[in-house]
Amino acid sequence: MRTSRRDFLKCTGGVLALPLLRAEEPAIILYNGNIWTVDDTQPRAQAVAIADGRLVAVGSNDDVLNLSTALTRKLDLGFKTVLPGFNDAHSHPVESGVEHLRKGRMRQGFHRPDQSSAARTGS
């Protein structure tokens, strides 16, 4: 049976893509928890698997613990609640800019005399 180049490339391409389909091995699994997922389709979960700082699986203890390997660290949460990270990403640019200028002037040895020191020196 002859194999065409097209058939050969299809088979080779499929084999080369297999490493891309490999599921990530979790570095840590948190289980026996009350995990708030912030997902309307699954608002709560028992366990979560994390690899390279990213969630790779969320679900029941059985589903997620089956993903563990000998190198996976497992942390029993004892039915405690896990919440997503809350980041306060706001700033006060005007105040920040004034403070930046003030520190820059002080580093350069410049400062603005206040009213009371000017009155005492007679200037």
60 in any annotated domain: yes
pLDDT tens, position by position, 16-75: 554 544 567 999 999 999 999 989 999 999 999 999 989 999 999 999 999 999 999 999
pTM over 0.75: no
Do the domain assignments include residue 57? yes
73, two tokens: 């660290």
**CA dist., res. 12 & res. 5, Å (int):** 10
Number of domains the chain is built from: 1
Provide the domain limits for residue 36: 24-82
Checking if the pLDDT of 13 tops 60, the result is: no
Q: Which residue has the higher pLDDT, 122 or 86?
A: 86
What is the tens place of the pLDDT at every residue in 77-108? Answer: 999 999 988 777 777 778 877 887 777 766 66
Kindly state whether residue 58 falls inside one of the protein's structural domains: yes
Compute the distance between CA of residue 64 and CA of residue 42 in angstroms, rounded to an integer. Answer: 15
Residue 95 lies in a domain: no
* Cα separation, 16 vs 74, whole angstroms: 32
CATH number, domain containing residue 64? 2.30.40.10
Q: Report CA dihedral (85, 73, 47, 54) to the nearest 10 degrees.
A: 40
In a domain, 74, yes or no: yes
